[in-house]
Amino acid sequence: MDLPNVETYLTPHNLENITNWGEGWVWLAGGTWLFSEPQPHLKVLVDIQDLGWSEIIVEDDYLIIGATCPLIKLLEYPWLSEWTAAEGFKSAIAALAASFKVINMATVGGNICLALSVGTLAPMMVALEAIYEIWNLNGESRRVAAKNFQLGHCQTILKTGEILRRVLIPISNLKWQVNYQRFSVTASEPALAIVVGVRNQQQISCVIGASVVAPCLVEVANDEFLETGLINVLEGVSFIEDARASAIYRREVTAVLMREMLQELKI
């Protein structure tokens, strides 16, 4: 879709080239969402593809994913056999039900920062205890836990001019068992509920998404009554209520997905 209201298109090679960030400015990564609908409030597009952030590397004790990494690279990356969590990423990307063209263009950072309640990657990042590195235009950086990044539907902690630079996932967490559950009326529609369960030795926790405005980490202390405990926790969660489904329906679907997740992870 054309954006006729856009007045300026910038392609900086580093953030220091960007000055006077103003109203109507926006970061452009893959653009698969940005160009999918009218954006009448936008005036300046700042294309970050030339910043060279598309890497997936191992550094120290982390797997590091650059913000402009296309989703296709998560599918093509030569995951080690012991990195069992990789199956969760593959399931999250498959859940997008997107075309080959979209998967080649859409970026990891774009998917996370768009912060849709139905976002597929964010619950995975929260489940794996990922860390997000955020940069600003003054060359300063800060790190935040993935679980604290998204505040609501299309709301994050990013301040004006800030940008997600990269995602850091502890290598040890990639060895966790992951089960990705999703429910929608049809495969091509946005999810009504997502549940991502992780098992670290004998400990199981899960993250719910799509049925809530932002990924929600759900844990209980007593493994003996794990299923009952997790289901009971849902009573205190605020579920989305809209034309697509009631809050009660979303809670019940989430509970069903939790039970299926536990059956898959409890060997």
- What confidence score (pLDDT) does residue 39 get? 85
What is the C-alpha to C-alpha distance for residues 98 and 197, in angstroms, rounded to an integer? Answer: 23
* pLDDT, tens digit (0-9, with 9 covering 90-100), for 20-71: 888 899 999 988 888 888 888 889 999 998 888 878 999 989 999 999 999 9
End-to-end CA distance of the chain: 48
Decide if 109 contacts 92 (C-beta within 8 A): no
The mean pLDDT value of the chain amounts to: 90
| Residue ranges covered by each domain of the chain | 8-50, 51-173, 177-265
Instruction: With a cut of 60, say whether residue 1 has pLDDT above it.
Output: no
Q: Which amino acid is at 240?
A: I
Residue 187 main-chain phi, psi, to 5 deg: -60, -30
Which residues fall within 8 angstroms of residue 76, CB to CB, at 6 or more apart?
none
- What confidence score (pLDDT) does residue 133 get? 98
- What confidence score (pLDDT) does residue 97 get? 65
- What confidence score (pLDDT) does residue 204 get? 84
Nearest residue to 32 (alpha-carbon basis) of 71, 88, 77, 75? 71
Q: How many residues does the structure list for the chain?
A: 267
- What confidence score (pLDDT) does residue 201 get? 75
Nearest residue to 181 (alpha-carbon basis) of 257, 83, 84? 257
* pLDDT, tens digit (0-9, with 9 covering 90-100), for 154-173: 999 999 999 999 999 999 99
Instruction: Give the mean pLDDT of 105-122.
Output: 93
What's the DSSP call for residue 172? G
What is the C-alpha to C-alpha distance for residues 116 and 150, in angstroms, rounded to an integer? Answer: 9
Decide if 114 contacts 122 (C-beta within 8 A): no
- What confidence score (pLDDT) does residue 95 get? 84
* pLDDT, tens digit (0-9, with 9 covering 90-100), for 74-90: 999 999 999 999 999 99
Round the CA-based radius of gyration of the chain to a whole number and report it.
Answer: 19
Concatenate the DSSP letters of all residues of 144-189 into one string: EEGGGTEEETTEESPPTT-EEEEEEEEGGGGGSEEEEEEE-SSTTS
pLDDT band of residue 3 (cuts 50, 70, 90) is confident
- What confidence score (pLDDT) does residue 222 get? 53
What pTM, to 2 d.p., does this model score? 0.92
Instruction: Lowest mean pLDDT of 103-112, 148-157, 199-208, name the range.
Output: 199-208
For the domain covering 177-265, report its CATH number. Answer: 3.30.390.50
Decide if 56 contacts 174 (C-beta within 8 A): no
What is the C-alpha to C-alpha distance for residues 44 and 24, in angstroms, rounded to an integer? Answer: 6
Strands 44-47 and 8-10 turn out to be: parallel
pLDDT band of residue 207 (cuts 50, 70, 90) is very high
Nearest residue to 123 (alpha-carbon basis) of 224, 196, 187, 58? 196
For the domain covering 51-173, report its CATH number. Answer: 3.30.465.10
pLDDT band of residue 211 (cuts 50, 70, 90) is very high
Tokens of 41: 């409030």
